Amino acid sequence: MGLSNVHLGHLHSASKISSSSSSSPSSSLSSSSSSSSSTLRQVLPSSTTSLYLSGKERIKKAGCGTALVSSGQCLLFDPEEEGKLQGTGSLSSRITNGPKYVLPQDAVIAPQQQPTPLSSPPLDVDVDVDVTVSDAQHWLEYLDEELPLNFAKPNKPVTATLLARSRIISEDAPGDIQHVIMRLPEGMHYVEGQSLSVIPPGVDPKTNKKYSPRLYSIASTRYGDILDGNTVSLCVRRAEYYDTITNQVDTSKKGVCSNYLCDAEPGTQVSVAGPVGKTMLLPKDLSSDVIMVATGTGIAPFRGFMHRLFMEQTVVRHMFSGTAWLILGVPVSGGLLYKEEFDAMLENANPGQLNIDYAISREMTNTIDGGKLYVQNVIAQNANEFFTRLDNGASVYFCGLKGMMPPILEALEKVAAENGLDWNVKLKAWKANHQWHVEVY
């Protein structure tokens, strides 16, 4: 019952967006309620309203969240007749007058609708808390069962469109890191933790062939930053190399793909392939803990994880009962990536459900030897909690430069030895139980 209600609500919302964005003349906006209902019956296949279909089948047959009625003409939903405008002509006036429209003095502003409490939980679920119904994102949830892989391969890439990019570290932070948003071609989807290949234009002078694809961890959820299910976000560090003698950037050794993305203007057509990756997927058990360890742009997949668990209106967010622990290492405070977003997540999460530790190496010291604080020091300082969580079924994820792993493994091995544990046996057991996930570059 719950899924059916959410599905119909989303289809209804999608149709309203199409109607309100129509550029049709005002005369075409007077479709009656009866004609709208008639059109709806003609366009929607009867199978979409069947209560006997599985949730995934209903979503697919409903166009995966896309209205099955073409936009315009108020065919599916006429706000004048069926909405709160009640035939006032307000919508027609708004469209006709555009930015010159003035709200009538006697207009009544409707209060924001609050979630509707239920007298009892849906599907006879036995819970001790009040249950409310709210809008939810759901049309791409089937991807958990049908993992998207290689919509396009590097030898036959497809074209994405760069929508926007922005520097996301302060001027005093070393280097340049940018958040890049691209619109994907229709039908290309991904899930959190996967990666996307970008093929820069041009020919590699070393091989006289096209440049090889560069793989980037995806930094958004399957719904994208725009929440329409058609965009992807990347966290890109501009690869620059400094001459050790002049201390100046050596442009002849700059990273081809990263500089291409960091310099690209909105509207740039970008060749992409993928998605790929099965290693960094969130656990299916929503009651298990998640530990995320990142350095620099290795934060990318964990931004997607945390948006899914603490920000978006999905069933996964509401069902997640484990705890999440993020450890992020950067050189200076100005290099903290997505901190404002993470602060909002701390407010959204239940008390104690999200913990974030920053290791700012040039500004913090560790309690072990008084040296600079790195991610491996944070793990060592919280070794008992780290080991206990993993022994209780937590999944741990590492992402960043490959140089991050040796000191982390060394620190964990030392802690294991101090507690009389065989580190190799312990690590082997975690890997066998699919609790240990590493993606370094």
Specify the DSSP element, H or E, that contains 274. Answer: strand 269-276
State yes or no: is 217 an active-site residue: yes
Cα 242 from Cα 387, distance rounded (Å):
40
Look-up of token digits 């003698």: 245
Beta-strand relationship, 395-400 and 436-440: parallel
Q: Report the DSSP beta bridge partners of residue 290.
A: 324, 395
Please identify which of the residues 211, 216, 223, 374 carries the catalytic annotation: 216
DSSP state of 276: E
Place of tokens 């930015």: 99
Q: Which of 71, 197, 217, 220 is catalytic?
A: 217
CB 337 within 8 A of CB 166: no
Q: Which residues are 395's β-sheet partners?
A: 290
Is 257 among the residues known to form the active site? no
* Nearest partner of 378 among 394, 355, 400, 395, judged by Cα: 355
Separation of alpha carbons 193 and 401, rounded Å? 16
In sequence order, the β-bridge partners of residue 397 are 292, 437
Please say whether the dihedral angle defined by the alpha carbons of residues 293, 297, 298 and 303, taken in this order, is positive or negative: positive
The H-or-E segment that residue 235 falls in is: strand 231-237
What's phi and psi for 248, nearest 5 deg?
A: -110, 155
The verdict on whether 441 is a catalytic residue reads: yes
With 0-12 / 13-18 / 19 or more C-beta atoms within 10 angstroms meaning exposed / middle / buried, residue 76 is buried
In angstroms, the CA 440 to CA 418 distance is: 28
Q: What angle do CA 390, 391, 397 make, to 5 degrees?
A: 15
Quick check: is 81 catalytic? Answer: no
Q: What does DSSP say about strands 231-237 and 324-330: parallel, antiparallel, or unpaired?
A: unpaired
Residue 262 annotated among the catalytic residues of the structure: no
Catalytic sites, residue numbers: 216-217, 399, 439, 441
